[in-house]
Amino acid sequence: MEDSAVTASLVIAIDGPSGAGKSTVSKELARRLGLAYFDTGAMYRAAAVWLERHGALDQPEAMPALIDGMPLELNLDPDAQRFVLGGDDITALIRTTEVSTYVSKVSTCLGARDVLVAWQQRVVARERTAAGWSEGRGVVAEGRDITTVVAPDAEVRVLLTASEAARLARRALEVHGKADAAAIAATTDQVVRRDRDDSTVARFMDAPPGVTVVDSSNLTIEQTVRAILDLIPG
Residue 62 DSSP class: G
Residues that bind ligand DC (CB under 6 A): 18, 40-41, 44-45, 103-104, 107, 143-146, 194, 198, 202
Question: In the complex with ligand DC, which residue's Cβ is closer, 104 or 224?
Answer: 104
Shortest Å distance, C-beta 35 to ligand DC: 18
Shortest Å distance, C-beta 18 to ligand DC: 5
Question: In the complex with ligand DC, which residue's Cβ is closer, 7 or 107?
Answer: 107
The SS3 of residue 91 is: coil
Q: Are 29 and 225 in contact (CB under 8 A)?
A: yes
Q: Is the dihedral of CA 191, 38, 29, 79 positive or negative?
A: negative
Shortest Å distance, C-beta 44 to ligand DC: 3
Shortest Å distance, C-beta 225 to ligand DC: 18
Residue 149 DSSP class: I
Q: How far is residue 27's CA from residue 40's CA, in Å, rounded to a whole number?
A: 13
Q: Are 161 and 215 in contact (CB under 8 A)?
A: yes
Q: Are 68 and 118 in contact (CB under 8 A)?
A: no
Question: In the complex with ligand DC, which residue's Cβ is closer, 33 or 202?
Answer: 202
Question: In the complex with ligand DC, which residue's Cβ is closer, 104 or 216?
Answer: 104
For residue 41, what is the enclosing H or E element?
Answer: helix 40-53
Q: Which residues contact 147 (CB under 8 A, 6 or more apart)?
A: 13, 14, 15, 154, 157, 158, 159, 208, 210, 211
Question: In the complex with ligand DC, which residue's Cβ is closer, 34 or 76?
Answer: 76
Shortest Å distance, C-beta 78 to ligand DC: 15
Q: How far is residue 200's CA from residue 193's CA, in Å, rounded to a whole number?
A: 11
Question: In the complex with ligand DC, which residue's Cβ is closer, 127 or 198?
Answer: 198
